[in-house]
Amino acid sequence: MNNKRIFLSLSQQSGFEEKYIQTALNDSWITTGGPNVDEFENKLEGFFEKNKSIVALNSGTAAIHLALILLGVKLGDEVICQSMTFAASANPILYQGAIPVFVDSELDTWNICPEFLEIAIKDRIARGKKPKAIIAVHLYGMPYKIDEIFSIANRYGIPIIEDSAAALGSSYKGKKCGTFGDYGVLSFNGNKIITTSSGGVLVCDSQGLKEKAIFYATQSRDNASHYEHSKIGYNYRISNICAGIGCGQMEVLDKNVTLRRAMHDFYKKVFEDIDEVSVFEEPNEDYFSNYWLSSILIEDDCEKKINREALTLAFEEANIETRPLWKPMHLQPLFVEYPYYGEKIAESLFEKGLCLPSGSNLTNEDKNRIEEVIKTFFK
């Protein structure tokens, strides 16, 4: 049997990228900005079918950073952030010299918990500082509790940065993820549902905010014939070549969502009769996940030697990549000193959770190999 490594989430060519890249090369548009960038932004604006303005950048992390800047987050300000996430959600808070305040997850969506969010807001206000923003994440493509979180944020007048980096193609009550927050963020790094090799976008509510974001993303050049600067600038615009890849990838977005969702169905079926495992899934029909990464929770069973580590090893022996869930930020050495509101939900998810191969390129043979490991392990 073929023993080629099966990866968690690999990028994949659609075949439509080359014509955009070739045009850029032919026209010597080998720079940041350019026709592919405009087209990529237009395609995304069309995808969102709403009055949203899209700014294409060189990473999702850059988009989160710009959102904080546009919301006026400065030295010493506090920003609430979901603890259970990738470090890129929280690092830009530190870039601004601001203070992250971490909040636990709830068990339905694994995302920011409304109860602890409100407790955190009340306590920070009581201590003298109202948080400047909330960073809420659609973990692994699963929408967070949008209605509950927005109702709290609106009550206290705190803007939301929606980290939709993993959730392009997901939606809540029929509305697309990325369009709920004051700012939305998408990522197109190499393992996301579509890729530009590295890239991201900031979703803004108006053309004016888009222009402001582009100003900061292109070194904050004031209006003058020479280079004049009165604000700190950044080099965050996407390259015209990468945007060309994005234009081609947009053609297969819907297909990739369908294929990732099919991987989730595959795991549902494989784990159907395995009591120790629960597959992460939409809490009800309001939620539509792109299932960027299919994930499971494994209950320890000492007698049968069943636990996450043992299953990880079994996959590794078959040359199949898996990965524990994100280690919560409040447990990371970088962030331990910052405030945290919650109990141990995120922590227990981290201890029991595993992400499984979820790419849109997995073959039937790959699936058979994955199923074989699972069936043998839980026999």
Ligand X SMILES: *Cc1c(COP(=O)(O)O)cnc(C)c1O
9 binds ligand X (CB under 6 A): no
What's the min distance (Å) between Cβ of 358 and ligand X?
Answer: 13
Measured in whole angstroms, the distance separating CA 123 from the mean position of its chain's CA atoms is: 28
54 binds ligand X (CB under 6 A): no
278 φ, ψ to 5°? -120, 135
Contacts of ligand X in 178-217 (CB under 6 A): 187, 189, 200
Stretch that binds ligand X, among 30-38, 82-90, 255-263, 370-378 (CB under 6 A): 82-90
Query: Which residue stretches of the chain are H helix?
Result: 17-26, 35-48, 60-70, 91-95, 114-126, 146-156, 207-217, 240-250, 253-270, 308-317, 345-352, 364-377
The residue among 32 and 378 lying less far from ligand X, judged by its C-beta, is 32
The residue among 178 and 270 lying less far from ligand X, judged by its C-beta, is 178
Select the residue interacting with ligand X from 6, 166, 346, 354 (CB under 6 A).
166
The residue among 92 and 114 lying less far from ligand X, judged by its C-beta, is 92
Q: Cα(282)–Cα(290) distance, rounded to whole angstroms?
A: 10
163 binds ligand X (CB under 6 A): yes
59 binds ligand X (CB under 6 A): yes
Q: Cα(296)–Cα(190) distance, rounded to whole angstroms?
A: 23
Stretch that binds ligand X, among 55-63, 99-107, 276-284, 305-313 (CB under 6 A): 55-63
Q: How deeply is 371 buried, as exposed, middle or buried, from its count of CB atoms within 10 A (0-12, 13-18, 19+)?
A: middle
Select the residue interacting with ligand X from 134, 165, 297, 349 (CB under 6 A).
165
Q: Cα(314)–Cα(309) distance, rounded to whole angstroms?
A: 9
The residue among 117 and 165 lying less far from ligand X, judged by its C-beta, is 165
Select the residue interacting with ligand X from 11, 53, 61, 83 (CB under 6 A).
61
Select the residue interacting with ligand X from 89, 196, 289, 360 (CB under 6 A).
89
The amino acid that residue 129 corresponds to is: K
Residue 113 makes CB contacts below 8 A (sequence gap 6+) with 103, 104, 105, 106, 342, 345
Which string of b and e fits 278-293 if b means at least 16 CB within 10 Å? ebbbbeeeebbbbbbb
The residue among 86 and 338 lying less far from ligand X, judged by its C-beta, is 86
Q: Cα(88)–Cα(85) distance, rounded to whole angstroms?
A: 8
What's the min distance (Å) between Cβ of 61 and ligand X?
Answer: 3
The residue among 161 and 252 lying less far from ligand X, judged by its C-beta, is 161
137 binds ligand X (CB under 6 A): yes
Beta bridge partners of 301: 306
Select the residue interacting with ligand X from 9, 85, 111, 196 (CB under 6 A).
85
Name the residue whose CB lies closest to ligand X.
60
CA distances from 201 to 18, 257, 260 (A): 21, 19, 22
Contacts of ligand X in 288-347 (CB under 6 A): none
Quick one: which of 137, 138, 139, 120 has its CA closest to 129? Answer: 120
Q: Which residues bind ligand X (CB under 6 A)?
A: 59-61, 85-86, 88-89, 137, 163, 165-166, 187, 189, 200
